[in-house]
């Protein structure tokens, strides 16, 4: 198990994303910004999907991710996407701020449900730098 963890870490860290060599510095920044937007979109999709999943027990049946938590993710995602679209060079700070805001605003249940997805989004962000 320990070897599997080590192998996984080596694999993950070795897949740092690089922009295509055909791009100018401006294009490379736009590429990074696009990857960040894709990660934000994936987080939003996950939140929407988990809001659609009904859990019961305990009764009454309720969404796996609450409406309130889903709105936190989606509204923050919109703001981040628009900011990145206006200023692609800000992709790093904007995405990091958005992910931090989401993590801070989620309630305990939301944090638990979205923990892995937030971790993965942060991992994508890290790999882009």
Partner 1 sequence: MQALILAILTYATPIITKAIGDYRAAHNGAMPTDADIIGTLHANVQAGNSQWAAWLAAHPTP
Q: Can you give the binding site for partner 1, defined by CB under 8 A? A: 5, 8-9, 11-12, 15, 17, 20-24, 26-27, 30-31, 33-35, 37-42, 44-45, 48, 67, 70, 74-75, 77-78, 81-82, 84-85, 88, 115-117, 119-121, 123-124, 127-128
C-alpha distance across the termini of the chain, in Å: 29
Give 21 or 57: the residue with its C-beta nearer to partner 1.
21
Give 57 or 66: the residue with its C-beta nearer to partner 1.
66
Give 57 or 98: the residue with its C-beta nearer to partner 1.
98
Task: Look at strands 62-63 and 54-55 and give their pairing.
Answer: antiparallel
Indicate the DSSP class of residue 59.
S
CB of 82 to partner 1, least distance (A): 7
Give 1 or 56: the residue with its C-beta nearer to partner 1.
1
With beta carbons less than 8 A apart as the criterion, state whether 51 and 65 touch: yes
The tokens for 49 are 């999907």
Q: Tell me how far CA of residue 34 lies from CA of 58, 73, 102, in angstroms.
A: 40, 18, 20
């Amino acid at each position: 198990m320990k070897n599997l963890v080590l192998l996984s870490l080596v694999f993950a860290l070795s897949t740092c994303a690089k922009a295509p060599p055909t791009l100018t510095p401006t294009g490379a920044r736009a590429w990074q910004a696009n990857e960040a937007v894709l990660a934000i979109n994936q987080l939003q999709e996950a939140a929407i999907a988990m809001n659609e999943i009904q859990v019961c027990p305990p009764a009454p049946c309720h969404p796996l991710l609450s409406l309130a938590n889903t709105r936190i993710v989606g509204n923050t995602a919109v703001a981040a996407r628009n900011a990145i679209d206006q200023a692609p060079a800000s992709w790093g700070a904007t995405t990091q701020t958005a992910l931090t805001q989401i993590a801070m605003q989620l309630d305990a249940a939301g944090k638990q449900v979205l923990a892995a997805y937030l971790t993965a989004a942060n991992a994508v962000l890290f790999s882009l730098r």
